Amino acid sequence: MAPPKRRPLIVANWKMNGLRRDGLDRARALVARASAAPSLGCDIVLCPPATLLIETRGALDGSQIALGAQDCHAAAQGAFTGDLSAPMLADAGCRYVIVGHSERRAGHGEQDTAVAAKAAAAAAAGLVPIVCVGERREERDTGRALGVIEAQVRASVPKALAGPLVVAYEPVWAIGSGRTPSRDEIHAVHALIHHVLDDHFSGGSGTVRVLYGGSVGARNAQEILAVEGVQGALVGGASLSVEDFWAICAAAGRLDAAA
């Protein structure tokens, strides 16, 4: 059965980019575009670096664009130098938080169990976790992508959560590389993720939005977002350009309007 059509979700992951001036200018420009648009047709989230959360929240106030963070700790508070907890992020005005991004899995040694604990902590604090999964190049080349992703979903997504959930399929080799899987490959992974969520997640896949991420840009957004089972995009590099990110949001909104 085809996954249900959902209002697309477009998430900007600014990563470790931007000083206050750049970030706020970008957020304000996006708010101006969103408020000038007759109807958005998609949900939009900005995930700036932690230093910009509070001021970005101010810039987004009263707009239809929500605030998100790029990571959280699994504990609510304590002696964890340099970390931020989910309740702190909620307190700063966040509604979403990315967990298990491949740059954190690779650069900070995060394992699936830690990612699941972060997702649970996020939901307990009232945030929507965006759980990232994705295969490495050699895993795809050796025909293991689907098995790897199924295992990651089962181990990184808690069986039950207090609130909504987002899962992002981000092939590690597609992130920042300008390369993307084919439409058929994206379709196969999204169908698998929906299927696994139906079996694994208490809310079933109908309550989850499954995004694609990895070299999404203004040029390929429409094509990728039109793939069955793709319910939005997690955008890195292209989200640093107001023009490009807005083009991606517009592509998502048009598809939603056409549905």
Nearer CB in complex with ligand PGA: 85/239: 239
Is 105:155 a contact under the CB 8 Å cutoff?
Answer: no
Candidate residues 215, 244, 250, 252; the one interacting with ligand PGA per rule CB under 6 A? 215
Among 3, 8, 13, 94, binds ligand PGA (CB under 6 A): 13
Site residues (CB under 6 A) for ligand PGA, limited to 162-191? 170, 175-176
Q: Among residues 232 and 236, whose Cβ is nearest to ligand PGA?
A: 236
Quote the least distance from Cβ 26 to ligand PGA, whole Å.
15
Q: Of 103, 110, 139, 170, which residue is the catalytic one? A: 170
Catalytic site includes residue 187: no
Interaction between residue 71 and ligand PGA (CB under 6 A): no
Identify whether the C-beta of residue 211 lies closer than 8 Å to the C-beta of residue 221.
no
Binding mask 229-248 for ligand PGA (x = CB under 6 A): -----xxxxx----------
Long-range contacts of 26-35 (CB under 8 A, 24+ apart): 26/240, 26/242, 27/56, 27/59, 27/60, 27/65, 28/59, 29/242, 30/65, 30/242, 30/245, 30/246, 31/59, 31/60, 31/63, 31/65, 33/242, 33/246, 34/63, 34/64, 34/65, 34/249, 35/63, 35/64
Nearer to ligand PGA by C-beta: 147 or 176?
176
Q: Considering the complex, what minimum distance in angstroms separates the CB of residue 2 from ligand PGA?
A: 26
Q: Within the chain, what is the greatest distance between any pair of CA atoms?
A: 50
Q: Single out the segment in contact with ligand PGA by CB under 6 A; choices: 54-62, 142-150, 196-204, 211-219.
A: 211-219
Query: Of residues 68, 214, 232, 253, which one binds ligand PGA by CB under 6 A?
Result: 214
Q: In the complex, what is the shortest distance from the CB of residue 225 to ligand PGA, in angstroms, rounded to a whole number?
A: 14
- Contact yes or no for 129/166 (Cβ under 8 A): yes
Residue 101 known to be catalytic = yes
Least Å distance, CB 132 to ligand PGA, is 7
Question: What angle, rounded to 10 degrees, do the helices at 242-258 and 20-36 form?
Answer: 30
Catalytic residue of the set 101, 103, 150, 190: 101
Strand 128-133 to 65-69 pairing: unpaired
H helices, E strands: number in the chain: 10, 8
Annotated catalytic residues are 101, 170
Q: Given the rule CB under 6 A, which residues bind ligand PGA?
A: 13, 170, 175-176, 213-216, 234-238
